[in-house]
Each structure stands twice: as structure tokens, then as C-alpha cells.
């Protein structure tokens, strides 16, 4: 899924760029954490060991930055490692921009969006302008105004007041527009190898983002969804305290901004749906016992995270993790090992194969499960899922920069890395 908040082009002493990113993913998908790639490309990013691409990165010399999130309305429910398709890997969109030379606008206009499952994409060149750079957003939703419609949709729902043209959020964040599970299910998915076209459409709209304004992006479109609205507010509160004199409050960003696991969308049950529709008792003719069993099944799927909402942070409470290179994670599984694990799960009853009833329950509760900014571990028909890494990138006006990341290791512990670098500013 993934979630990001960012602002660029602020006047000194505030940073030229401040970006925070949570990567939410199935735990069995093999990946490397943030590192400087050893291919001489100058790319600083994590890496998907299946496709070779990435979800977020910056070129440490040129300042070319890119990130993507999945667009849920155009995304199949099953992960690609479980359900291979003919679509190209979305991670290549990030890598190609960072290592290319086209301007942000030229690049996104050249993307054949129908080759990919649903995506949101932000690309920027921090050196394109002496002070602010150039940053654009697009997606492959398919409608002409899709790149800009997220803000309007959220505003109609009462959740935001155009952070694109005002930099602030008000109203009831939970009222922001959410695509329903039925809408997500109705969206066409990528085909199995050998047939059809992918789910998205060619990129039709490019939105040039404005400097000095806080943006948020999840798996709706830009500025959609309650957790995006509340996160924008949180970053706006933090931003005045981020200066070249005071430094970056990393622990507050990792915790207060990106570590809040409170779920903003209620849990759906058949009984609740029936009550909403004016009915009495469990829907679809189910008995009270059947409804209780269904609710318990949903609770079991959510595992340990069904208790009172908390502010989940990958650190010892009250003791921020040190960023000076503590214990490192063991190496992730190879792709060959991962494929074997996936095949074994697919053969098991109720395991990674995803029985239809389990998949339907997962899809029905997906909005609730992922409605916190931090997604604590949950059980799914395709294996454990949750936030696997939290990344913060800051670039100052003199070109000095740093990327910090907290990431989940295969054994469930969290590790960290801090990588300083220097951009060649104009």
C-alpha cells in the first residue's frame, strides 16, 4: 500500500525537501532496506528483490527524486508474488526517472500507464530551480482530471480543504472519500500472462505541485483518505520546528507522524451493515451464532492488532532507537526461496493460497485494516502484512542531505540506518 507526506521548496532556514514515507507490504516479499546501490548509479533507495525496482529513492548526485504508491481502485487484491501478471513492474517507474535525464513533466507524459497495475507517481528534480525544484504528480486511474481530483473529492467529503491551495486541513477527516471494497473489486485487474491489457490507462493528467505546501498521498489519489488528511495536519504542526538551526525531530516524525496506528475507518460487520441499511439483526439471514463466528473470524484475521488502538512505533517506548548503526538485519530471502515459500502456502488450506471466503473477508476489511498511518502486523490469506519500513529524507539549501530509515527485519525485530549525502546544488 504505502503512505507519504512531503513538502518542498520552503524558504531557509527550513529544508528544501522534507519527506516521510511508510512502506506497507506483505512480509514475504523479498526486499533490501535503504542503501546506496552498488551498481554505480548513484541511487539511494531500498530495492525489491523480485523486480529489481524500488518504491522510493533519490539520486545522490543529481537530486532526482521519485516515489510511488499503489492506486487501490486499480489494484488486484492478490499480491503479485501470489498472482503473477503480464503487467510491468511499477518499481521501474521510480528507477528510470532517477537514472534518466527527462524533466519531470516530460517523463510522466511518456509513461504508458496501461502497462502497469494502478499507481500514483511523484517525480521531482530538486536542481531544476535554484531554490525549489520541480515536482509533479500523476496516476493511471484513466479519467482526464484524475491527477487533481483527489483534493476535490476529499473536500466534497468534508475531510480536507485543499492543501494544494491552502496548505491546511479541516473538518472531519473521516468523512474523506474512500473507494468501497465493491468498487475496488469491480476495477479490472491485470491479466494472467498471455492475454489482455493491464488495469490502468495511459497517463492523461499531470499535476505540477506547488512549493511550500504539505502534500499527502496514500492509495487513493493525491490528498484522499482520512489518514492522509490527519497526517497532513500532523506534518504541518511539526514543520515550524524543522530548521537548519534546530535540526530534524526524527523521533517525532517516525512516531507522531508515521507511527500512529489508530484506525480511522470503522470495522465492518454484517450486523453493522444491516443496521445502517435499516435492518434488524445479522444480514443475509445469518443466525446470531453465525454472525458471532464471522466476527470472530475477522478478529482472528487481524491478530494481535485488534486491541485498543495505539501509537505503534518501531522503538522501545520512551527510548528512541539509536541511528548510529546498531545490529543489522540478516539478509532477506532470495527470490528462489520466496517462490518456494509462496508455493507451499498456496498448497495449504487457509494459507497463502487464499480461500475465497478468507480473501472476501480480507477485502471487506481492507479499508479498516489499513486506515492507520502505521499498519501493525495483520494476518491475511496471503501471509502477514503491515508497515515494513519508515523512511525520512531531508535536503537543506546548501545541498547537505540525509536519509534515515527504520525497517523490519525478517525475524520481526527493527533495525535502522542513517545515510548522509551531498547534492551538487546549482
Angle, in degrees to the nearest 10, between helices 356-369 and 288-302: 70
Per the model's pLDDT, the better-predicted residue between 332 and 386 turns out to be: 386
Spell out the residues 6+ positions from residue 329 whose beta carbon is closer than 8 angstroms to its own.
Answer: 33, 407, 409, 410, 411, 413, 415
* Cis omega (within 30 of 0) for bond into 13: yes
d(CA 326, CA 316): 14
Q: How many Å is the maximal CA-CA distance in the chain?
A: 69
| pTM metric for this prediction | 0.75
Q: Which helix (H) or strand (E) holds 404?
A: strand 400-408
266-288 tens-digit pLDDT:
987 655 555 444 443 333 333 44
Q: Say if residue 36's pLDDT is above 50.
A: yes
The band of 358, judged by pLDDT with boundaries at 50, 70 and 90, is confident
Q: Say if residue 388's pLDDT is above 80.
A: yes
Which triple of cell numbers denotes residue 101?
Answer: 535525464
The band of 178, judged by pLDDT with boundaries at 50, 70 and 90, is very low
All structural domains of the chain, each given as residue ranges with its CATH number in brackets, are 3-263+383-422 (3.60.60.10)
pLDDT of residue 353: 53
d(CA 10, CA 240): 11
d(CA 94, CA 37): 14
Which triple of cell numbers denotes residue 39?
Answer: 551498481
d(CA 247, CA 241): 8
75-91 tens-digit pLDDT:
777 776 655 666 899 99
The band of 364, judged by pLDDT with boundaries at 50, 70 and 90, is confident
Q: Which residue has the cell 523512511?
A: 391
Amino acid at each position: 500500500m504505502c503512505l507519504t507526506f512531503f513538502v518542498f521548496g520552503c524558504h531557509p532556514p527550513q529544508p528544501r525537501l522534507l519527506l516521510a514515507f511508510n512502506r506497507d507490504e506483505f512480509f514475504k516479499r523479498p526486499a533490501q532496506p535503504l542503501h546506496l546501490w552498488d551498481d554505480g548509479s548513484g541511487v539511494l533507495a531500498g530495492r525489491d528483490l523480485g523486480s529489481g525496482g524500488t518504491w522510493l529513492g533519490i539520486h545522490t548526485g543529481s537530486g532526482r527524486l521519485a516515489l510511488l504508491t499503489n492506486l487501490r481502485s486499480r489494484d488486484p487484491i492478490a499480491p503479485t508474488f501470489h498472482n503473477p501478471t503480464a503487467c510491468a513492474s511499477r518499481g521501474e517507474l521510480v528507477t528510470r526517472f532517477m537514472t534518466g535525464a527527462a524533466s519531470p513533466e516530460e517523463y510522466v507524459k511518456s509513461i504508458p500507464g496501461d502497462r502497469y497495475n494502478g499507481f500514483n507517481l511523484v517525480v521531482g528534480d530538486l536542481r531544476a530551480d535554484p531554490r525549489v525544484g520541480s515536482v509533479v504528480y500523476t496516476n493511471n486511474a484513466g479519467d482526464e482530471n484524475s491527477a487533481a481530483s483527489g483534493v476535490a473529492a476529499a473536500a466534497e467529503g468534508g475531510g480536507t480543504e485543499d492543501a494544494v491551495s491552502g496548505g491546511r486541513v479541516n473538518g472531519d477527516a473521516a468523512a474523506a472519500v474512500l473507494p468501497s471494497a465493491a468498487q475496488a473489486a469491480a476495477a479490472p485487474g491485470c491479466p494472467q500472462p498471455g492475454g489482455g491489457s493491464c488495469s490502468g490507462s495511459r497517463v492523461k493528467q499531470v499535476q505540477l505541485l506547488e512549493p511550500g505546501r504539505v502534500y499527502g498521498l496514500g492509495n487513493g489519489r493525491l490528498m484522499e483518505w482520512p489518514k492522509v488528511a490527519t497526517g497532513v495536519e500532523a506534518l504541518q504542526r511539526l514543520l515550524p520546528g524543522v530548521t537548519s538551526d534546530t535540526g530534524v525531530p526524527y523521533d517525532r516524525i517516525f512516531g507522531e507522524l508515521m507511527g500512529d496506528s489508530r484506525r480511522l475507518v470503522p470495522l465492518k460487520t454484517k450486523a453493522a451493515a444491516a443496521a445502517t441499511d435499516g435492518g434488524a439483526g445479522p444480514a443475509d439471514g445469518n443466525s446470531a451464532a453465525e454472525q458471532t463466528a464471522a466476527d470472530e473470524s475477522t478478529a482472528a484475521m487481524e491478530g494481535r492488532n485488534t486491541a485498543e488502538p495505539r501509537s505503534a512505533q518501531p522503538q522501545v517506548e520512551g527510548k528512541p532507537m539509536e541511528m548510529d548503526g546498531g545490529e543489522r538485519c540478516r539478509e532477506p530471502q532470495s527470490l528462489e526461496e520466496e517462490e518456494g515459500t509462496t508455493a507451499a502456502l498456496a498448497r495449504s488450506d487457509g494459507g497463502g493460497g487464499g480461500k475465497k471466503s478468507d480473501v472476501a473477508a480480507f477485502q471487506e476489511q481492507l479499508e479498516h485494516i489499513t486506515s492507520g498511518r502505521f499498519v501493525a502486523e495483520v494476518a491475511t490469506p496471503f501471509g502477514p502484512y503491515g508497515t515494513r519500513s519508515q523512511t525520512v529524507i531531508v535536503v537543506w539549501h546548501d545541498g547537505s542531505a540525509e536519509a534515515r530509515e527504520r525497517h523490519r527485519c525478517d525475524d520481526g525485530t527493527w533495525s535502522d540506518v542513517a545515510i548522509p549525502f551531498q547534492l551538487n546544488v546549482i
